[in-house]
Structure 1
């Protein structure tokens, strides 16, 4: 069990972040979610934005033990994008059973017990100083796929504007629904469908220590970019067939000083290598290798996407 943040007295305190995404209304089928300090859900918590699923999801989050729960929406959460839903979403998805977009947003924004909904907005955790920024936007999927919420044409001026507006004062943990180009974004056809504008902003301006996203179910896992000291995590819970069988991913952040003695926003934070949550013997625990810098193993070097060959990084599935 993780100690409460204000009780951590070690020379290098560890903050445990548990990540899930793309649960598509199946959050109660995940099984046990590992304990930790902070939980992140990177969007697509509903199938098509059903009010009943969103309300139950908020109740589900409120009853998890994590002190802070960061949530963003995804393209499937149609009712949360009120403008889209009124113009197109209801007609596309809910002609026979209209949903209430105002109620969907009210459920998310009114959730308690540490739940924080972010939409092109930030949150600074008072206990750790970690700065989070969340954004739901993803590139539009070409026809015959239907229109979805929070979509934008990529590349385009709108896309560039959205990306340059991300985390204007920087952040430690960036949460977006869609991936950056070449980072856990390869679909079954072999195409990399992440946003190149997002990758540029992440590497050259935002420079988070952790970038969490979902959207592409089949590229679940972790990629560590040692050159830029960024860990990319795709913790999509549902697989390609929308079965909620991909376990939560846990990352430990080694903080440079005891939590009650530092201002994190002015200090670098060190990432630890992580792997998915697994069952070991009779105890369930996250597997993590504490390390002063992200680790690249010889076995993992060959697992990289072709688009990532110019970087030194490791992939873990």
Structure 2
């Protein structure tokens, strides 16, 4: 079992007990592990919310005995009889802890998958299929298992079978999720924008939605300034994007010997010495996000070793790659109405 932090974003300052909250669950890079991911186990008994007016004490989701439901071993968010979800995870507080197993996806209003649902056969590893119909059916089977009101999917570099398909052709077959391909989806006033591109790298055989520096910069410039939640497969450069280099992964002994002989210097991007690792993110995306778009939340994946959440210049960044670390990220988005 692992603990999950529910992170408040949006108009948290000045929030009241009547503030509107949308819970967003983020996963990415599930690859061949998607078939074992499951909805959370339900909490037995009647569930209610004890609201708090203190910035030091968060809301509580309690069972019929008054025990904090999140602290129970099998606890999770539970679906109510009226079809809604209890969203007492965060209220004027930094974090709220819930429980989930490595393969449980927490409940919420929106489930976002930011790409690399499966391995394509061009990846050089074990694969299922590059057949468009089969991949989309696997996606439908996956998303149909979860009770979230809306599921959003943005493709990654392993979804090459989707790249040459028209958006509507994919959406017509992907009946269980909203497919965002350089497009916007609005949910209760929150603007989601999704784009699948990643920068060109020599050491990869999975080349779906890969673009050179000049072409990818043009795509990022098309992202609307009014974007509350940006969903991309690529991370911005220098933000949760530190991945293992090809030589360190495929020739670890040679790589380690090289770094022993030739000392590494602090990285110009982050100032840290990280032999055998490099920043995979896109500099053009970083510039657009930090300077022009300034979304409340930026969700991405791609770099398996970069799983984590951080806030920079008022923007919350989430890399939720499942391939290396089984950790979904959960956000309560306060809309203020």
Task: Give RMSD over aligned pairs.
Answer: 2.1
What does 1:67-86 correspond to in 2, within 5 Å?
67-82=149-164
What does 1:210-229 correspond to in 2, within 5 Å?
210-225=297-312, 228-229=313-314
What does 1:130-169 correspond to in 2, within 5 Å?
130-143=190-203, 145-146=204-205, 148-154=207-213, 156=214, 158-166=215-223, 168-169=224-225
What does 1:45-124 correspond to in 2, within 5 Å?
45-48=117-120, 49-51=130-132, 52-82=134-164, 106=169, 108-113=171-176, 115-124=177-186
Per the normalisation by structure 2, the TM-score is 0.60
Q: Distance in 2 between matches of 1:223 and 1:191?
A: 19
Asked if structure 2 preserves the Cα contact closer than 8 Å seen for 1:45 and 1:54, the reply is no
SS at match of 2:136: helix
Residues 238-296 of structure 1, C-alpha deviations (whole Å, 9 max, x = no match)? 11xxxxx5121111112323xxxxxxxxxxxxxxxxxxxxxxxxxxxxxxxxxxxxxxx
What does 1:295-314 correspond to in 2, within 5 Å?
none
Per the normalisation by structure 1, the TM-score is 0.64
Q: Could you say which structure has the larger radius of gyration?
A: 2
Asked if structure 1 preserves the Cα contact closer than 8 Å seen for 2:158 and 2:206, the reply is no
1:190 aligns with 2:264: no
SS at match of 1:191: strand
1:204 aligns with 2:291: yes
From the superposition, tell whether residues 106 and 62 of structure 1 become closer, same or farther in structure 2 (CA, over 3 Å): farther
User: How far 1:11 moved relative to its partner?
Assistant: 2.0
* Matching residue of 1:4: none
1:13 aligns with 2:75: no
SS at match of 2:18: coil
State the number of aligned residues.
216
Q: Distance in 1 between matches of 2:304 and 2:170?
A: 26
Q: Distance in 1 between matches of 2:207 and 2:172?
A: 21
* Matching residue of 2:113: 41
Instruction: Name structure 2 gaps, 5 residues minimum.
Output: 1-15, 38-102, 121-129, 245-275
Q: Distance in 1 between matches of 2:22 and 2:158?
A: 30
Q: Distance in 2 between matches of 1:147 and 1:70?
A: 22
Asked if structure 2 preserves the Cα contact closer than 8 Å seen for 1:214 and 1:235, the reply is yes
User: How far 1:70 moved relative to its partner?
Assistant: 1.0
